[in-house]
């Protein structure tokens, strides 16, 4: 789903998303879809953890940045993630169990925050 020619920032973003995906797959999650986009927002990764559908936001910051990766997700971004997840869930006749996780990458350190965003879905 990536354009054939990426900007440097897009290429870096893809590399971090690939690193997050590999990390989650090593922990047993299975990729369903990457880079889901709709008018209301975007989901970086959608995976399955057993029977649970997991929406994942990947955030990265350089080592020593003023704000850590996880703290860089503001209220507006949270709303866009939740809305995009709600749009995605409309394709199911019965809503599966789901959660929204964050993979925070600070420098070379990866932290997986399960159920990081409470959405009431």
Instruction: Answer yes or no: are the C-beta atoms of 24 and 99 closer than 8 Å.
Output: no
The pTM assigned to this predicted structure is 0.88
Provide φ and ψ at 74, rounded to 5°.
Answer: -90, 175
Place 40 in a pLDDT band, splitting at 50, 70 and 90.
very high
Residue-level pLDDT at 3: 55
Helix residue ranges per DSSP H, 1-121: 8-26, 75-89
| Alpha carbons 14 and 8: distance in angstroms, whole number | 10
CATH topology of domain 8-117: Trna Endonuclease; Chain: A, domain 1 (3.40.1350)
Reported as a single tens digit per residue, the pLDDT across 57-98 is: 999 877 766 767 777 788 999 999 999 999 999 999 998 999
For 89-121, b where at least 16 C-beta lie within 10 A, e where not — what string?
A: eeeeeeeeebbbbbbbbbeeebeebeebbebee
Residue-level pLDDT at 120: 59
CB atoms within 10 A of CB 60: 20
If you average pLDDT over residues 85-113, what whole number do you get?
Answer: 93
**Beta-sheet strand order (sheet of 52-61):** 30-38, 41-49, 52-61, 98-106, 109-117
């Amino acid at each position: 789903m990536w354009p054939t020619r990426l900007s440097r920032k897009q290429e870096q973003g893809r590399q971090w998303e690939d690193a997050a995906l590999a990390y989650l797959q090593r922990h047993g999650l299975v990729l369903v879809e990457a880079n889901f986009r709709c008018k209301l927002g975007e989901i970086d990764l959608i995976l399955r953890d057993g029977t649970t559908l997991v929406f994942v936001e990947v955030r990265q910051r350089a080592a020593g940045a003023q704000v850590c990766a996880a703290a860089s997700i503001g209220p507006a971004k949270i709303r866009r993630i939740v809305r995009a997840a709600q749009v995605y869930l409309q394709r199911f006749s019965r809503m599966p169990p789901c959660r929204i996780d964050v993979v925070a990458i600070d420098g070379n350190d990866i932290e997986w925050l399960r159920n990081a965003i409470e959405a009431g879905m």
